[in-house]
Amino acid sequence: ETGVTQTPRHLVMGMTNKKSLKCEQHLGHNAMYWYKQSAKKPLELMFVYSLEERVENNSVPSRFSPECPNSSHLFLHLHTLQPEDSALYLCASSQEGTGNTIYFGEGSWLTVV
Amino acid sequence: TQLLEQSPQFLSIQEGENLTVYCNSSSVFSSLQWYRQEPGEGPVLLVTVVTGGEVKKLKRLTFQFGDARKDSSLHITAAQPGDTGLYLCAGADVTSGSRLTFGEGTQLTVNP
């Protein structure tokens, strides 16, 4: 148990569906992240929220829409995805200013059919 | 863009053997972290090294941060099947602090 909880753990969706991934951290951290992990590729940083403000968006397509309503919760809204978006999506959190340690959730496996 | 190269990408060994995984970059990092990831799970932090030349031990695992803070190694002594997993190194950007650059990982399989 890392203190970062992701739901759902597995999601299968059609290309026309709208779904959301949810992340909750119980560590009192002030920064949250979405990463994408695909086979044979390094972890890709998608979005960073610091103090509930989006501070980084690494050229992610608009079909991925993040939302951070408070410092403990992070969502990734999914719409009109493509099969190549199938991957493990990892949420993470950290306390900025106290070092660089980030803690990951267990991930949400997404399959787009 | 900072890049981290891990080697080897794949490693399959017998129980009891020793192994070393390397993480190299041309960039300087403020710190470097090692994670272990099992199939279907998120990466779990093993250690963070901060000082150039630093050596940290975690049971049979020994981590070293290069003097110039550009590279790191992970040495496992007497590997066990439970050590099987994907080992990831991640370097923290000197300027932006908490932004991590990940290597591609080393997939380790320890056969009984």
Which residues of chain B register pLDDT less than 70? 1-2, 95-98
Pairwise CA distance, residues B51 & A110, whole Å = 38
Is B88's CB within 8 Å of A43's CB?
yes
Q: Which residues contact A53 (CB under 8 A, 6 or more apart)?
A: A68
CB A47 within 8 A of CB A55: no
Beta B10-14 vs B106-111: how paired, if at all?
parallel
Interface test with A, best of B46, B88, B100 (most A CBs within 10 A): B100
Residue A48, phi then psi, degrees to nearest 5: -130, 130
Looking at residue A13, its pLDDT comes to 93
List A residues 25-44 in contact with B (Cβ-Cβ < 8 A): 31, 40-43
Q: Identify the residue with better confidence: A12 or A2.
A: A12
Looking at residue A73, its pLDDT comes to 96
DSSP secondary structure code for residue B82 in this structure: G
Compute the CA torsion angle B19, B25, B31, B36 (nearest 10 deg): -40
Interface test with B, best of A100, A106, A111 (most B CBs within 10 A): A100
Q: Give the count of Cβ contacts less than 8 A between chain A and B.
A: 59
> Model confidence over B63-76: pLDDT tens digits?
999 999 999 999 99
Overall average pLDDT of the A3-32 stretch: 94
Q: Report the residue of chain B nearest A89, measured CA to CA.
A: B42
Overall average pLDDT of the A85-110 stretch: 88
Q: Choose the weakest-confidence range: A27-31, A53-57, A109-113.
A: A53-57
Mean pLDDT of the residues in chain A: 90
Q: Which residues of B touch A99 (CB under 8 A)?
A: 31, 48, 50
Looking at residue A39, its pLDDT comes to 82
In the block, residue with structure tokens 């049979």: B60
Looking at residue B105, its pLDDT comes to 93
Looking at residue A66, its pLDDT comes to 94
> Model confidence over A35-74: pLDDT tens digits?
999 987 888 889 999 877 777 777 899 999 999 999 999 9
